[in-house]
Amino acid sequence: MKTAIVTGGATGIGRAVSSLFAEKGYNVVIGYNKSIDAAKELETKLIKQGFSAVIYNCDVTKTSDTYGIVDFAVQKFGKVDTFVCNAGIAQQKLITDITDEDWSNMINTNLTGCFNCCRAAAKSMISRHSGSIVNISSMWGISGASCEVHYSASKSGVIGLTKALAKELAPSNIRVNCVAPGVIKTDMLSSFSAEDLERLRVETPLSRLGTPEDIAKAVLFLSSDDASFITGQVLSVDGGFIL
C-alpha cells in the first residue's frame, strides 16, 4: 500500500488531492497548519468511508515540521511514496503597496516552504531509490499576473526548483514534477466579485473555471506508474487560459 503526504491537505485543492489519493488506496497523511477543524473533519470522513488517513500539524516554513511530517509518515506507514507540496498563500496588491512583510510571507510560504518539503522528502526517498514529488505552482508562475508580483515570483520559483531537483534526483529514480493550476474554484477566489469570476470564465478557452478535483486528477497521474517516464515537467491545468 502506497503512502502520500499532502501539505495544505485539509482545504481547497489539497483537500481534493487528499481525498482522491485515499480513494485510490493510498495511506494519506494530511498536513495542515491552521485549518485544524477542516483537517479533523476530513480525517473522520475518510476513515468512516473505509480509507486510510491521518492528520499532522505542519507549518511548511519550519524545517523541523517538514522533516517531522516525513518521519511521522515513515514511522506510521513504513515509507513515503509521494509528497505533494501544495501548501501556499495568495494575495493581490499593487507592487507599491506590497510591504516587506507581505513579500517575506509569500516567499517563505510558497517557495521556501516548497524547498523545505522537497528536501525532507528527498532525504527519505533517496535511501529507497524510489519516490515522486509533485509541486503545486500556478499559471501565474508561468506568465505572471498583474497585481500579484510577489505571488507570481514565488510560484515561478517553484517551477525552477522543480526542474533543477528533477535533474538532481533522477539518478535516484525519484521523479519531480509540477502542476500549474489556472483559475480554480476555492476559497482563494473569495475576494473576487461575481463579475470578475465571470470575466475569468469567459477568458478561459474551455469556458469554465477549474475545480479542485481537476487538479487532484493531474497530481494523481503524475504520481502514478503511468507517469514513470515523466520528470521535470510543468503540467498546466488551466482550461487553456495561458495558451
Please pick, among 26, 32, 56, 151, the residue that the annotation labels catalytic: 151
Contact 18, 53 (CB under 8 A): yes
Give catalytic status of residue 56 as yes or no: no
Question: Catalytic residues, which ones?
Answer: 151
